[in-house]
Amino acid sequence: MTGKTKRPSWDEYFMEIVFLIARRSTCLRRHVGAVIVKDNQILATGYNGVPTGIPHCEDQGGCLREILHVPSGQRHELCRGLHAEQNAIIQAAVHGSSIRGGTLYCTTMPCIVCTKMIINAGIKKVVYAEGYQDDLAREMMEQADIFIRQYTIQDDAS
């Protein structure tokens, strides 16, 4: 072997995984993936979509929020689905994995509903790729001393 293999950083590794996870999403509006890790070990994953055993929105005539012209970030209770972050937290609970002190990697900055769950779950770091306009979510994460940062591929270029 003549050259040294460029291994991805941990952030790059987990961010690539969340984009793969997002491909499982059944949401008609946005595909989001999340992974919760601790000590560089994956504890749980999640993508946005309806609860297990419930018909997908595309099988129910479409996205209710689209039909009602609900803007992004509003009226979350009208959505049939769960967010990727919520599904990852639930998966950890179902399997008895403590995520306290862990890191959540996500394709999108968490909304305020997910942020409250992240805070109470004890997650200490959030790394996301795409921004999401939710000033209250960012403010509450900062108040809870959660390290948050937007990841870009340039972070690993060197």
Catalytic residues: 85
CA 146 to the chain's CA centroid: 15
> Which residue has tokens 């996301």?
128
Q: Cα–Cα distance between 71 and 65 in angstroms, integer?
A: 8
40, 10 Cβ separation under 8 angstroms: yes
Residue 153 DSSP class: G
138: three-class secondary structure by DSSP: helix
The Cα–Cα gap between 50 and 80 comes to 6
Instruction: Round to whole Å and give the CA distance between 92 and 134.
Output: 25
